[in-house]
Amino acid sequence: MEETVLSVRRLSKSFGRKQALHHVSFDCQAGRIVGLIGANGAGKTTIMKAILSLIKSQGDITINGQASTFNHHAALADVGALIEYPGIYPFLSGRDHLKLFARPTADKVQRIQTVIRDLHLAPYIDRRVKGYSLGMRQKMGIALALVNQPRLVILDEPMNGLDPQATKDLRELIKKKQAQGTTFLISSHILGELQKLAEDLIVIDHGRVVHQTTMQELLARNQHFLVLTTDQDLRAAGILAENGYLVTAHAPIRVQLRAADTVAAVLKTLTSNGVSIEDVQHEDGDFEQSILDMLRE
């Protein structure tokens, strides 16, 4: 049975006269990676700050079955987070930060070692944070979010400032933690990044949840094309159109594959009409376009 780790109901927030969030509701189920997608200014950070009681808001937030409010937020003890830039003390080392943040239980030292190893922090963990690059600081912030092995981890644009290797490492680490049961809520405006990570998607637009879907569903909506070069492209495009295929370009020929269309049937239609095929390629539609189409619906 699914277990709800985070439940957000009718979350609203205004900054002066500007309403940044309008009755936002969604759930995060245990062990899922949930992506919060939206353009700049859509309200992602505000949602995360409200969940973490960093700002006052209206609505109901329940974490691990416990109501969490601005003044009563014991449930946040089991939540790790990185919001915007990590708050750091420049003259302390990375290890000092971890020691400060780590809960004083018997396995404290071991947890610190684990997070240093998992995030490959060893080369600079004993240096003052003052000298860290943006990416190193970001990794430090993620380490602080993970060091207490919380059940729910909230990460606001976690790939910011990370190089391709560190991005890949973080993705793998998030997946590893997920396999151990951790739930993640991750925001990003870089859709490709969430594509490789998130299973559930919450699309935010102008402070509202405009869609809740799964990555699987979104990818299924994505369009697929067959790009063909033949010995007589113009005639071949005509033959395909006459046979009911959706031809979107002529040289080379681009055919949109709908659910019932198979590559074999497209090729057979051409060869049986005496067209010789010189090249065949698959092309996937734009993932970002799928989201934009969704926003327009």
Q: Is 46 in the site for ligand ATP (CB under 6 A)?
A: yes
Give the span between the Cα atoms of 207 and 238, in whole angstroms: 47
Backbone φ, ψ for residue 33 (5° rounding): -105, 115
Considering only residues 176-195, where is the footprint of ligand ATP by CB under 6 A? 189
CA dihedral (241, 246, 251, 253) positive or negative? negative
What Å distances lie between residue 254 and 116, 257, 282, 285, CA to CA?
A: 49, 9, 10, 12
In the bound state with ligand ATP, the residue whose beta carbon lies nearer, of 18 and 296, is: 18
Report helix angle 134-146 to 94-101, nearest 10: 20
Give the span between the Cα atoms of 246 and 237, in whole angstroms: 10
Q: Is 43 in the site for ligand ATP (CB under 6 A)?
A: yes
In the bound state with ligand ATP, the residue whose beta carbon lies nearer, of 23 and 99, is: 23
Size of the site for ligand ATP (CB under 6 A): 12
Residue 98 in contact with residue 163, Cβ under 8 Å?
Answer: no
Give the span between the Cα atoms of 14 and 138, in whole angstroms: 29
Please choose, out of 41-49, 89-97, 117-125, 281-289, the segment that lies near ligand ATP by the rule CB under 6 A: 41-49
Q: For ligand ATP, which residue of 5, 33, 42, 51 counts as binding (CB under 6 A)?
A: 42
Residue 131: CB atoms within 10 A of its CB come to 9
Give the span between the Cα atoms of 89 and 91, in whole angstroms: 6
Residue 85 in contact with residue 141, Cβ under 8 Å?
Answer: yes
Task: Give residue 37's identity as a one-letter amino acid code.
Answer: I
Please choose, out of 4-12, 42-50, 104-112, 128-136, the segment that lies near ligand ATP by the rule CB under 6 A: 42-50
Give the span between the Cα atoms of 217 and 123, in whole angstroms: 41
Q: For ligand ATP, which residue of 8, 32, 37, 38 counts as binding (CB under 6 A)?
A: 38
In the bound state with ligand ATP, the residue whose beta carbon lies nearer, of 20 and 236, is: 20
Q: Is 41 in the site for ligand ATP (CB under 6 A)?
A: yes
Task: Give residue 204's identity as a one-letter amino acid code.
Answer: I
Q: For ligand ATP, which residue of 5, 11, 20, 266 counts as binding (CB under 6 A)?
A: 20
Please choose, out of 36-44, 215-223, 252-260, 267-275, the segment that lies near ligand ATP by the rule CB under 6 A: 36-44
Q: How far is the CB of 271 from ligand ATP (least distance, A)?
A: 50
Q: How far is the CB of 84 from ligand ATP (least distance, A)?
A: 8
Q: For ligand ATP, which residue of 8, 33, 45, 136 counts as binding (CB under 6 A)?
A: 45
In the bound state with ligand ATP, the residue whose beta carbon lies nearer, of 157 and 200, is: 157
In the bound state with ligand ATP, the residue whose beta carbon lies nearer, of 40 and 71, is: 40
Q: How far is the CB of 176 from ligand ATP (least distance, A)?
A: 26
Query: Residue 204: CA atoms inside 13 Å, Cβ hemisphere, count?
Result: 29
Please choose, out of 40-48, 97-105, 135-143, 282-290, the segment that lies near ligand ATP by the rule CB under 6 A: 40-48
Give the span between the Cα atoms of 187 and 276, in whole angstroms: 48
Q: How far is the CB of 10 from ligand ATP (least distance, A)?
A: 17
Structure tokens at 235: 């005639």
Residues that bind ligand ATP (CB under 6 A): 15, 18, 20, 38, 40-46, 189
